[in-house]
Amino acid sequence: MANILIVEDEAIVAMENKMNLNKAGHQIIAIVSTGEAAISAFSENIPDLMLMDIKLRSEVDGIQVMEIIRQSSSVPVLFLTGNSDSKTRERIGNIANSSFLLKPTLTKDIVNEVNRLLSHK
């Protein structure tokens, strides 16, 4: 079982991911919807993995959040995005210990990728 921080600005998507990851045996330590809240939640209770939307309702996006977190931690991160352009892929590629899935995603794909990232931790 891993402790996971979900960063997602769509409440329905966040709750669905929480439910599915709980069913897979993982614990959700927090759900936040902004980059600033993600950084704060991370520092309060360092997770085993972060499930990160890229577009957030904040000044910083999910990739920028991870650039900040990477200054002190190599926690694995699974990015979820509806944007597959080359610039986004390049930015994600610069984040160590990360992976991404395109939205909409299947539950089994999220769970499989979370488990794969955790196995390399």
Q: How many CB atoms lie within 10 A of CB 81?
A: 21
At residue 114, the pLDDT reads 97
Q: Is the pLDDT of residue 121 over 70?
A: no
pLDDT (tens digit per residue) in 30-52? 999 999 999 999 999 999 999 99
Q: Token pair for residue 100?
A: 């991404």
pLDDT (tens digit per residue) in 66-77? 999 999 999 999
Q: 3-107 adopts what CATH topology?
A: Rossmann fold (3.40.50)
pLDDT (tens digit per residue) in 2-28? 999 999 999 999 999 999 999 999 999
The residue ranges of every structural domain in the chain are 3-107
